[in-house]
Amino acid sequence: MTKQKLLIQSLRLLFVVALFTSCNNIKKQPDSDENNETHNQHKDANHEKPSHATHGFTDKVTVEELTKRFESSERDSVEQPQKIVQFLGEIQNKTILDIGAGTGYYAVRFADKGAKVIAADVSDQFQDYLKQRIEKNNIKNIELRKTPYDSPLLKDGEVDIVFIANTYHHIENRTEYFAKVKKGLIMNGELIVLDYFNVDFPKGIMAPPMKMRVSVDQAVFELKKAGFTTFEVEVNALPYHYIIKAK
């Protein structure tokens, strides 16, 4: 082999080594979806565990901080809860199970409209918080229910409505879970799902990463497998959420 060829091979080797080293030194940038994760309530609190553990905790996130986010004016502007209450229709004297009730953001609103509300959550901390809120405000028509990750703990035909907000995408084995929900509803009872569109949101909007969201079509497909047969889908009422009513 000539000296010229040896020199060329040596230069090529040096180039490869330099390229490899520079690539290893490049700092990995976060996914664009992660940058959308500002509210939650979501990244540190809600999206650590891919299940119905909607209010998981980390050392960096306290109940007090999450409560401020759950009950914030920013959430009001994004979710427009008055529209959700309106979508449910007349709920006075109806029994509603609120899955992932958290601080009682929706449960208290439903109770104000005369519903009997079962506020269900996997988190002891949020159940304790809501208990204090109920006692402080002398709310008589909210019952607390600590639930496991894999069951709504419903008796057959126990409730008129099951409501689940920003939590559907957390649940594992959704077909099995919502088959249990279906059994817990009265005849012609309703499941109401409020969750995020799987589209890009403006920076700063409360939302889980794109990879965790469930599309409307996917949710309807899963709920059909769980035994629901009739669907009403609302995609125009809210800017970042869809609403599914299933029977």
| Helices and strands per DSSP (H, E), number in the chain | 9, 7
Q: Do 190 and 79 fall into the same domain?
A: yes
Q: How big is the chain, counted in residues? A: 247
Q: Do 23 and 51 fall into the same domain?
A: no
CATH number at residue 192: 3.40.50.150
Q: Do 18 and 126 fall into the same domain?
A: no
Residues 6+ apart with CB under 8 A from 233: 216, 220, 242, 243, 244, 245
Q: What is the pLDDT of residues 14-69, one digit of tens each?
A: 333 333 333 333 333 344 444 344 334 443 344 444 434 444 443 346 777 888 88
> In this predicted structure, what is the pLDDT of residue 37?
40
Residues 89 and 161: their CA atoms lie apart, in Å, by 11
pTM of the model: 0.77
Give the range of the structural domain holding residue 12, as residue numbers without chain letter. Answer: 3-32
> In this predicted structure, what is the pLDDT of residue 209?
87
Q: Write down the residue that tokens 């004016």 correspond to.
A: 73
CA end-to-end span of the chain: 79
Q: Do 123 and 189 fall into the same domain?
A: yes
Q: Do 117 and 129 fall into the same domain?
A: yes
Q: Do 10 and 44 fall into the same domain?
A: no
Q: Do 139 and 57 fall into the same domain?
A: yes
Q: Do 24 and 132 fall into the same domain?
A: no
**Distance (Å) of CA 134 to CA 61, 90, 119, 140, 242:** 23, 23, 11, 8, 29
> Of residues 24 and 172, which shows the higher confidence score?
172
Q: Do 150 and 133 fall into the same domain?
A: yes
Q: What is the pLDDT of residues 121-132, one digit of tens each?
A: 999 999 999 999
Q: Do 24 and 40 fall into the same domain?
A: no
- Nearest by Cα to 115 from 79, 132, 90: 90
> In this predicted structure, what is the pLDDT of residue 234?
97
> In this predicted structure, what is the pLDDT of residue 18?
36
Residues 191 and 85: their CA atoms lie apart, in Å, by 14
Q: What is the pLDDT of residues 80-118, one digit of tens each?
A: 999 999 999 999 999 999 999 999 999 999 999 999 999
Q: What is the C-alpha radius of gyration for the chain, rounded to an integer number of angstroms? A: 23
